[in-house]
Chain A
Amino acid sequence: MAGSPAVAPLVALVGNPNCGKTALFNVLTGSRQKVANYAGVTVERKEGSLLTPSGLRVRLLDLPGSYSLDPLTPDEQVTADVLLGRRAGETQPDLVVCVTDATNLRQNLRLVLSLKRLGLPMVVALNMTDIARRKGILIDAVRLSAELGLPVVETIGVKADGVRALAAVLDRVTPFATARHAVPWQTPAAADIEHDQAEVRRILGAVGGERIDGVTLSDRVDAVALQPVLGPLILALILFLVFQAVFAWAQAPMDWIKLGVGAAGDWLGGVLPAGLLKDLLINGVLAGVGSVLVFLPQIVILFFFILVLEDSGYLPRAAFLLDRIMGSVGLSGRAFIPLLSSFACAIPGIMATRTIQNPRDRLATIMIAPLMTCSARLPVYALIISAFIPRRELWGGLQLQGLVLFALYVAGVVSAMAVAYVLTLAGRHRHVQALMLELPAYHWPNLRNLGIGLLQRVDIFLTRVGTIILSLMVILWALSSYPAPPPGATGPAIQYSIAGHLGAALAVLFAPIGFNWQISVALVPGLAAREVAVGALGTVYALSATGSDVSSALTPLLTRSWSLPTALSLLAWYVFAPQCLSTLATVKRETNSWRYPLIMAAYMFALAYAASWLTFRIATALS
């Protein structure tokens, strides 16, 4: 064996979607993975490293799943570009490991054949051989190797000993994987595809073991899960469970986090001398950390369900069932779960759009997710409704207050659908959108994959989104605290700060929609998160109450000092306004650019202003 090279050789894992490639990658690299994006696109880049039995360090790149080197999606574009050495900032792999699903060789071998034409050193991993064996599919790996003229290794993607053989083969092949044929890539013609097909049939005939016509266990599950009436019912049940979990189960851990942060603040308050540093640490940094951590329970719960649904193979079925409904406003069937979870919080919802492969569909879903009524709007709605909407019973025991709350939810959904529809019209393609979605065989989710997937989501949120949110929170704190009120000042402290002056200036702008200066000032710190506005109103009205008492102390005060049109206008404002910097920070991270969060903020503020203006004018005219 040659001496180990200066840079560890790069081995790329390639394969069809659903071939068990990522599970194999997880076993090979463990949790030593770096997750990032490919430069300029939102396609996820996963790299890890492993030590072969002989002690050779190898870098392993998990390329996005592809059906062909002739790309249709951005994922496939990245795979093709990296393999062909055309992607800026990426080195061409020294060795390609093509992962194939042993239960679906007829489809997978086509990719093997076209990869082989590239001339890169290559190994074929015959994956999921355990499942194949249980189905009665026995593939002669030695014969397959001879027919393909490539090394073939049998692997079981979820078991450590199932991949040891692959690591050993890397040892044999990698040191020699330097000679490369520079084969110019040509888009395969129809004749090439048919030639490959004949070749696949010949090889399958030689290596044996294929069952096509038998009714599998997956088929029996699908007979119920995709049944036109039962299928949607089961889906509704699953979605209800997910929604319930994100909404309700997360509440207790979120309360613990809030309590913990509060306790830490009390402790710091006790040990630190009064002054600037104390205020910065408690009201700036600690409050900022709290506002990041508070999202974690919802993110963990939502992604637990998404990973289970994805790993088991149900997620594409859900997309199949919802394709027609979501398609009518130009969205993908996969948009449903992100939008549903946005009712709890738009941040996990926007992160969940990663399961939407088509970038246009994904962007449209991200853009409308914050219009879903998130749980942070509830404290604001509850405050205004209890202060202004009479507690009156309508016909059939229907409460007027409840009806108004329901109307606010409906307003969010209807406007989201309208915006999605407008986006479709604006970005209309010459052709209808393709679906062509694979429905893989069901299988039990793997715990290791679940764990690694969850850790990666948490890590991405804390390190990339969390840092933006934290800095924004500290800036917002500074804006609301500086400059300090002059000695002998009578008004609330915030009134003398930059935020106070900003609010006073905004009051001019907000006068036509009925907002007084107190509301305008409260909206500035209220940019941190929607529910913060309640506390901020308490501060502006110089209430001494804190925590949950603010709301009850504010209610009679607001009833006295605001008119009904002002209150209704503020409700309309909260349906649309992007009063949540954390959401905008998440959009920035997920789209890799400031462009989309800025567009989102602009369109949502415009909608909010228009809705509030209309509400205020109509309510004033009627009263």
Chain B
Amino acid sequence: MVNSSDMQLTELASGRMARVVSVSAEHGAAPPEIGRRLAELGFLPGETVRIVARGLMARDPIAVRIGTGTFALRLFEAACVRVRPEQPQPA
């Protein structure tokens, strides 16, 4: 499962497609119910994600497209999601 191109959702460039690799509250040091709720909202391995917009101050929160829905997440929430970009990201 481990892949060098895996990253936190927060690190994904805006507009770039990626797939969810794993979701866990531990990734983002968040309370466990956050990880569970993210899964219930559809943040599950294999689903497509894309960052639609970022906030002005500290780029927080972010708007994320997951499947056919869009959710606003604070950065600590988005940090619970690990993703793999669809194509290798240019350096």
Contact = CB atoms under 8 A, between A and B. Distances in A.
A323 B56 CA distance: 10
A67 B37 CA distance: 8
Contacts of A107: 41-42, 67-69
Given A107-B42, A194-B44, A431-B31, A222 B63 contact: yes
B79 to A, nearest CB: 11
A219 interface: yes
Contacts of B7: none
Contacts of B72: 316, 319-320, 323, 435-439
A223 B50 CA distance: 13
Contacts of A431: 30-31
B68 to A, nearest CB: 5
A365 B48 CA distance: 36
A489 interface: no
Interface string A67-110: 11010100000000000000000000000000000011111001
B18 to A, nearest CB: 12
> From DSSP, what is the main secondary structure of chain B's interface residues?
mixed
- Most chain B CB atoms below 10 A, which of A223, A227, A432: A432
Contacts of B77: 434-436
Nearest to A320: B72
A437 B53 contact: no
A227 B77 CA distance: 21
Given A197-B44, A324-B61, A436 B38 contact: yes
A228 B42 contact: no
Q: Interface centre among B54, B60, B74, by most A CB within 10 Å?
A: B74
Contact of B55 (A213, A218, A324, A439): A324
A320 B71 CA distance: 10
Contacts of B68: 103-107, 210-212
Contacts of A438: 41, 69-72
Contacts of A498: none
B36 interface: yes
A104 B57 CA distance: 30
A231 B72 CA distance: 15
Contacts of A70: 36, 40
Interface range on chain B (Cβ under 8 Å from partner): 35 or more
Interface residues of A, number: 45
A72 B33 contact: yes
B42 A110 contact: yes
A236 interface: no
B39 A193 contact: yes
Given A103-B68, A104-B68, A438-B69, A68 B37 contact: yes
B55 A228 contact: yes
A70 B39 CA distance: 12
A212 B55 CA distance: 24
A365 to B, nearest CB: 19
Contacts of B56: 228-229, 231-232, 321, 324
A394 interface: no
Contacts of A432: 30, 74, 76
Interface in A186-228: 190, 193-194, 197, 210-213, 218-219, 222-223, 226-228
Contacts of A434: 34, 37, 74, 77
Contacts of A231: 53, 56
B8 to A, nearest CB: 16
A455 interface: no
A68 B40 contact: yes
Contacts of A229: 56
Contacts of B39: 190, 193
Cβ-closest 6 pairs across A and B: A226-B53, A228-B56, A106-B67, A324-B57, A439-B70, A437-B72
Interface of A: 67-68, 70, 72, 103-107, 110, 190, 193-194, 197, 210-213, 218-219, 222-223, 226-229, 231-232, 316, 319-321, 323-325, 430-432, 434-440
Given A212-B68, A435-B73, 20 more contacts: A72-B33, A107-B69, A190-B39, A194-B45, A210-B68, A222-B63, A228-B55, A232-B56, A320-B55, A323-B61, A324-B60, A431-B31, A434-B37, A435-B77, A436-B34, A436-B38, A437-B71, A438-B70, A438-B71, A439-B52
19 contacts: A106-B69, A107-B68, A110-B42, A193-B44, A194-B44, A194-B45, A212-B68, A218-B70, A222-B52, A222-B63, A226-B52, A226-B63, A227-B53, A321-B55, A432-B30, A435-B61, A436-B37, A439-B63, A439-B72
